[in-house]
């Protein structure tokens, strides 16, 4: 496993570990709600989670019809300080960690602990997808003449066009054959100030495969996802950027 530097002031605003699972038909919202009795000492706030899907159906000679579906699909269990969240859903499980982020071992070990409770309550038959997502907010000092002083993967404007950039959104989907996973990398920027330009580097790495819910392969997959996520992050920034977080 490669070794990466650990920043005292990590730019991570949110990290999440996500497991998608197939549950038995008998598991419903009432059953998921019993998760709270297990975790309420650590996660005293309970909120219903809802999902919505929408679509537009076009009919020849008639108006477009908007179709919507969705409803409650699980619960959010939130720590007293609001910085840690466990999601127990009808399609899986997630642990979210908001800033300040400690370290990978803390996120992984908490997810393992809460996953055991999810197994007890939801009795998943199969895990179908695992993912790690890290949102980084890089506060780059102004003025910036060239993004590539700090970020190596950036949008490029044709040389004959004005070179000023007010905003942008760029998405890359990068598979790794070696690790059998895929990364979705989103880059954008928030409104700059006189002193800093907030650059958002959002890295979502995932693997779609069949895992036994109780198997060690599940957690080995997360170690490999973390390897790919870190590889992307450190190969996307320059030494000058690293110095901002030291």
Global confidence as pTM? 0.90
pLDDT given at position 170: 96
The three-state DSSP-derived secondary structure of 25-37 is CCCCHHHHHCHHH
**13-53+69-124 CATH:** 3.30.310
Q: Angle CA(208)–CA(73)–CA(225) in degrees, nearest 5?
A: 25
3-state helix, strand, coil in the chain (%, to 5): 25, 40, 35
Instruction: Supply the DSSP symbol for 148.
Output: G
pLDDT given at position 123: 98
| Residues 4, 230 contacting (CB under 8 angstroms) | yes
pLDDT given at position 163: 80
User: What is each CA distance from 128 to 22, 91, 113, 212, in whole angstroms?
Assistant: 7, 10, 20, 9
Ranges under pLDDT 50 in the chain = none
pLDDT given at position 51: 77
Nearest to residue 100, comparing CAs of 84, 79, 80, 76?
84
pLDDT given at position 231: 96
pLDDT given at position 8: 86
Cα separation of 246 and 235, whole Å?
Answer: 17
Structure tokens at 200: 């958002």
SS3 216: helix
Hey, where are the domains in the chain?
Answer: 13-53+69-124, 132-157+164-246
Q: Tokens 């996307």 belong to which residue?
A: 236
């Amino acid at each position: 496993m490669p070794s990466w530097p650990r920043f005292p002031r990590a730019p991570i605003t949110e990290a999440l570990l996500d497991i998608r699972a197939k549950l038995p038909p008998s598991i419903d919202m009432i059953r998921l709600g019993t998760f709270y009795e297990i975790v309420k000492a650590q996660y005293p706030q309970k909120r219903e989670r809802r999902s919505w899907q929408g679509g537009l159906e076009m009919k020849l000679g008639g108006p477009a019809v908007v179709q919507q579906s969705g409803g409650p699909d699980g619960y959010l269990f939130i720590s007293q300080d609001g910085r840690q969240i466990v999601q127990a859903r009808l399609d899986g499980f997630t642990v979210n960690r908001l800033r300040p982020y400690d370290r990978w071992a803390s996120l992984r070990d908490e997810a393992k602990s809460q996953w055991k409770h999810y197994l007890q309550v939801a009795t998943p038959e199969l895990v179908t997808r695992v993912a790690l997502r890290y949102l980084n907010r890089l506060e780059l000092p102004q003025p910036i003449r060239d993004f590539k002083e700090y970020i190596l993967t950036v949008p490029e404007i044709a040389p004959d066009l004005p070179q000023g950039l007010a905003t942008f959104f760029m998405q890359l989907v990068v598979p790794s054959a070696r690790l059998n996973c895929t990364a979705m990398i989103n880059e954008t920027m928030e409104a700059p100030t006189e002193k800093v330009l907030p650059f958002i580097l959002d890295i979502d790495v995932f693997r779609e495969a069949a895992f036994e819910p109780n198997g060690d392969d599940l957690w080995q997959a997360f170690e490999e996802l973390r390897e790919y996520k870190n590889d992307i992050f450190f190969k996307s920034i320059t030494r000058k950027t690293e110095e901002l977080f030291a």
